[in-house]
Chains A and B, each alone.
Chain A
Amino acid sequence: GQNIDQPTEMTATEGAIVQINCTYQTSGFNGLFWYQQHAGEAPTFLSYNVLDGLEEKGRFSSFLSRSKGYSYLLLKELQMKDSASYLCAVRDRAAGNKLTFGGGTRVLVKP
């Protein structure tokens, strides 16, 4: 099976940087996704990593290390609207390529 761990909650100040870590264990890693979900809304796609390294998209960056089973999502220049849950999801070839989600990290941005 799969084990995906991420912190439950993080608090940061507007304008600051926050790093959300995600560790996973899979038999056949085949990609990692990050989604953002505001309270009461649908999750929306943020990033996709399948090779090691950093993917940058504006204020958001995602990093992957396959050998360590580790990823992080970096949120820079935090804004109040970034207060949301951030979901790490892993695709496992050994599990029919279905996406398995971590429990999510709730980020609270304070003024």
Chain B
Amino acid sequence: KAGVTQTPRYLIKTRGQQVTLSCSPISGHRSVSWYQQTPGQGLQFLFEYFSETQRNKGNFPGRFSGRQFSNSRSEMNVSTLELGDSALYLCASSSTGTSAGGELFFGEGSRLTVL
């Protein structure tokens, strides 16, 4: 069974640009959560999608958005990039989602550097 796949693994952008990150969950998993990980703030919750619906959202500005497709694949987008957006973005999938006690399976992450 393939794990959670995130693309791209590494990317460099400049301030003001926008970026789209992709996540393919484990086959059969309908819940996808996104987290931002930085040395100073740790793992911070961005949003969770379940069956194409956003089920939960963290405290991030509107520049951060996401969506989920009918095949459960998810994308997140960050517009008007700022230096502080440099981070590791982790995607996690679950069969039932965190509300039902589902264990999260994480991908390797997409490391974004904003110059």
Contact = CB atoms under 8 A, between A and B. Distances in A.
Contacts of A99: 33, 45, 98, 104
Nearest to B111: A40
B23 to A, nearest CB: 12
User: Which residue, of A42, A48, A50, A89, has the highest number of chain B Cβ atoms within 10 A?
Assistant: A42
B interface residue count range (under 10 / 10 to 19 / 20 to 34 / 35 or more)? 20 to 34
Given A31-B101, A48-B103, A104-B42, A98 B108 contact: no
A44 interface: yes
A61 interface: no
Interface in A54-68: none
B90 A43 contact: yes
A92 B59 CA distance: 15
A44 B106 contact: yes
Contact of B42 (A33, A50, A103): A103
Interface residues of A, number: 23
B101 A98 contact: no
A35 B106 CA distance: 10
Interface in B30-59: 33, 35, 41-45, 48, 55-56, 58
B105 interface: yes
Contacts of A111: none
Contacts of B55: 96
A98 B42 contact: no
B107 A42 contact: yes
A24 to B, nearest CB: 14
B98 A42 contact: no
A102 B43 CA distance: 7
B109 A98 contact: no
Contact of A101 (B43, B99, B103, B108): B43
Interface of B: 4, 33, 35, 41-45, 48, 55-56, 58, 90, 97-99, 101, 103-109
Interface of A: 31, 33, 35, 41-45, 48, 50, 87, 89, 91, 95-104
